[in-house]
Amino acid sequence: MKAIVTVIGKDKSGIIAKVSTILAENNVNIEDISQTIVQGNFTMLMLCDLEGASVSLKELSVILTEAGALIGVSVHVQHEDIFNAMHKI
């Protein structure tokens, strides 16, 4: 199963390190990543493969949401199909 992880917040060091470390610790593979900073605002979009993950999508979402709150960013995890359906024109 694939999932989309989005991260949004004020730019600061360690955001990518924190999120990618959590993913690695839970055996989630990052297949693609895009990040940008616009006027001090950090945005990141990751396509992740949860096939070998040691946690469920819901558990991963809780873990990343809590970690994001600790570092001052908003983190959301969605199944790839839901993300694609929401962004279809």
Res. 88: pLDDT tops 80: no
Q: What is the pLDDT of residues 22-80, one digit of tens each?
A: 999 999 999 999 999 999 999 999 999 999 999 999 999 999 999 999 999 999 999 76
Using the 8-state DSSP alphabet, how is residue 89 labeled?
Answer: -
Give the residue, 89 or 20, on which the prediction is more confident: 20
* Residue 83 pLDDT exceeds 90: no
Find out whether 76 and 6 touch, Cβ atoms under 8 Å: yes
CATH fit for domain 2-86, picks 3.30.70.260, 1.10.1040.10, 3.90.420.10, 3.30.413.10: 3.30.70.260
Which residue, 71, 60, 7, is CA-closest to 29?
Answer: 60
The domain limits of the chain are 2-86
How high is the pLDDT of residue 79? 78
